A and B are shown apart, each in its own frame.
Chain A
Amino acid sequence: MTSKDHDGAAGGTLDTVNGFTDPGLPEHKPRITDVEPAAAKVAERQVAAWFILSMIGTIWFIVSYFLFAPDGSLGRLRLQNAMLGIGAAIALGSVGIGIILWAKTLITDAEVTEDRHSIAGSAEDQAIALEILNQAKEESGIARRPLLRNLLIAAVAIAPLPAVLVLRDLGPLPGDALFRTLWKQGVRLCQDPGGVPEEDRPIKLADVTIGSAFHVIPEKLRESEDPLNEKAKAAVLLMRIRPEELNIEPGRENWSIDGVVAYSKICTHVGCPVALYEHQTHHLLCPCHQSTFDVTNHCKVIFGPAKRPLPQLPIAVDSEGYLVAQSDFHEPVGPTFWEIHTRSTDA
Chain B
Amino acid sequence: MSNTVTDSKFLTGSARFVESRTGASAAVKEFGRKIFPAHWSFMLGEVALYSFIVLLLSGTFLTLWFKPAMGEMHYEGSFAPLRGVEMSEAYASTLNISFEIRGGLFLRQLHHWAALLFMAALSLHALRIFFTGAYRKPRELNWIVGVALIAMGMAAGFTGYSLPDDLLSGNGLRIIDGLLKSIPLVGTYVSFFLFGGEFPGTDIVSRLYTMHIMLVPAVLIALIGVHLMFVVIHKHTQWPGAGHTEKNVVGEPVLPTFAAKGGGFLFMIFSLLCLIAGLFTINPIWNYGPYDPSPVSAGTQPDWYIGWMDGFLRLMPGWLEFYIAGYPISFNIFSALLVAAVLFGAMIAWPFFEAWLTGDHRDHNILERPRNNPTRTAVGVAATVWYLVMWAAASGDLIAVFFHMSLNDVTYVLRTLFFLGPILGYIVTRRVCLGLQRKDRELVLHGIESGQIIRLPHGEYQERHIAVDPHARWKLTAFESPAPVPARANAKGVVPRSERVRAKFAQFFFENRVEPVTKDELDAAHHDHHGEVEGGHDAELAGAGHGELPKGH
Q: Would you give the 0/1 interface string for A173-192, flagging 1 where the beta carbon is closer than 8 Å to chain B?
A: 11001100000000000001
> Which listed residue (A21, A83, A93, A334) contacts B267, Cβ 8 A?
A93
Chain B neighbourhood of A233, CB < 8 A: 198
* Chain A, Cβ-Cβ closest to B31: A1
B243–A287 contact, CB under 8 A? no
A84–B289 contact, CB under 8 A? no
Q: Which of A30-38, A142-150, A164-172, A201-209 contacts B (4 or more CB under 8 A)?
A: A164-172
- For the complex formed, measure the closest distance between the CB of B481 and the CB atoms of chain A, giving whole angstroms: 10
Q: Would you give the 0/1 interface string for A45-89, flagging 1 where the beta carbon is closer than 8 Å to chain B?
A: 000000000000000000001000111100001101111111011
- For the complex formed, measure the closest distance between the CB of B56 and the CB atoms of chain A, giving whole angstroms: 16
B260–A271 contact, CB under 8 A? no
B199–A229 contact, CB under 8 A? yes
Chain B neighbourhood of A107, CB < 8 A: 256-257, 260
**Docked complex Cα distance between A158 and B313 (Å):** 39
A338–B33 contact, CB under 8 A? no
**Docked complex Cα distance between A18 and B517 (Å):** 7
Q: Would you give the 0/1 interface string for B327-350, flagging 1 where the beta carbon is closer than 8 Å to chain A?
A: 110101100000000000000000
> Which listed residue (B35, B265, B278) contacts A85, Cβ 8 A?
B278
B246 contacts A by Cβ under 8 Å: yes
Q: Which of B14-22, B171-179, B352-360, B381-389 contacts A (4 or more CB under 8 A)?
A: B171-179
Given contacts A20-B547, A107-B257, A171-B196, contact A276 B298 (CB under 8 A): yes
B316–A17 contact, CB under 8 A? no
A26 contacts B by Cβ under 8 Å: yes
**Docked complex Cα distance between A16 and B99 (Å):** 66
Q: Which of B2-10, B103-111, B155-163, B500-508 contacts A (4 or more CB under 8 A)?
A: B103-111
CB contacts under 8 Å to A, within B515-535, are 516-520
* Chain A, Cβ-Cβ closest to B313: A289
- For the complex formed, measure the closest distance between the CB of A52 and the CB atoms of chain B, giving whole angstroms: 15
**Docked complex Cα distance between A84 and B80 (Å):** 23
> Which listed residue (A11, A12, A287, A337) contacts B296, Cβ 8 A?
A287
A291 contacts B by Cβ under 8 Å: yes
- For the complex formed, measure the closest distance between the CB of A170 and the CB atoms of chain B, giving whole angstroms: 4
B184 contacts A by Cβ under 8 Å: yes
A1–B549 contact, CB under 8 A? no
> Which listed residue (B106, B315, B519) contacts A84, Cβ 8 A?
B106
> Which listed residue (B181, B242, B332) contacts A24, Cβ 8 A?
B242
A109 contacts B by Cβ under 8 Å: yes
Q: Would you give the 0/1 interface string for A285-312, flagging 1 where the beta carbon is closer than 8 Å to chain B?
A: 0011111000000000101111110000
- For the complex formed, measure the closest distance between the CB of B280 and the CB atoms of chain A, giving whole angstroms: 9
A11–B248 contact, CB under 8 A? yes
A9 contacts B by Cβ under 8 Å: yes
B251–A111 contact, CB under 8 A? yes
> Which listed residue (B181, B264, B519) contacts A95, Cβ 8 A?
B264
Chain B neighbourhood of A177, CB < 8 A: 192, 197-198
Chain A neighbourhood of B192, CB < 8 A: 171-174, 177
Q: Which of A97-105, A122-130, A246-254, A320-328 contacts B (4 or more CB under 8 A)?
A: A97-105
On chain A, the number of residues with a Cβ less than 8 Å from chain B's Cβ atoms is 113
On chain B, the number of residues with a Cβ less than 8 Å from chain A's Cβ atoms is 138
Given contacts A100-B264, A338-B187, contact A229 B275 (CB under 8 A): no
Looking at B78, B105, B233, B264, which has the most chain A CB atoms within 10 Å of its CB? B264
B117 contacts A by Cβ under 8 Å: no
Q: Would you give the 0/1 interface string for B21-41, flagging 1 where the beta carbon is closer than 8 Å to chain A?
A: 000000001100111000000
A160 contacts B by Cβ under 8 Å: no
**Docked complex Cα distance between A69 and B328 (Å):** 56
- For the complex formed, measure the closest distance between the CB of A206 and the CB atoms of chain B, giving whole angstroms: 24
Chain B neighbourhood of A243, CB < 8 A: none
Chain A neighbourhood of B175, CB < 8 A: 270-272, 288
Given contacts A17-B477, A273-B296, A287-B298, contact A111 B178 (CB under 8 A): no
A19–B519 contact, CB under 8 A? yes
Looking at B245, B265, B270, which has the most chain A CB atoms within 10 Å of its CB? B245
Chain A neighbourhood of B547, CB < 8 A: 19-21
Q: Can you list 13 A-B contacts (CB < 8 A)?
A: A23-B550, A24-B242, A72-B80, A72-B99, A77-B99, A85-B106, A93-B270, A96-B270, A100-B260, A111-B252, A113-B249, A192-B294, A226-B198
Closest 7 CB pairs of A and B: A85-B278, A270-B178, A19-B519, A93-B271, A96-B267, A25-B243, A99-B264
Given contacts A19-B518, A194-B295, 16 further A-B contacts (CB under 8 A): A10-B244, A77-B98, A80-B103, A81-B278, A86-B275, A86-B279, A89-B272, A100-B268, A115-B247, A269-B318, A271-B178, A272-B175, A276-B298, A289-B314, A304-B411, A305-B333
Residues of A within 8 A of B (CB): 1, 3, 6, 8-15, 17-27, 65, 69-72, 77-78, 80-86, 88-100, 102-104, 107-109, 111-116, 119, 167, 170-174, 177-178, 192, 194-196, 215, 217, 226, 228-229, 231-233, 235, 265, 267, 269-273, 275-276, 287-291, 301, 303-308, 334-342
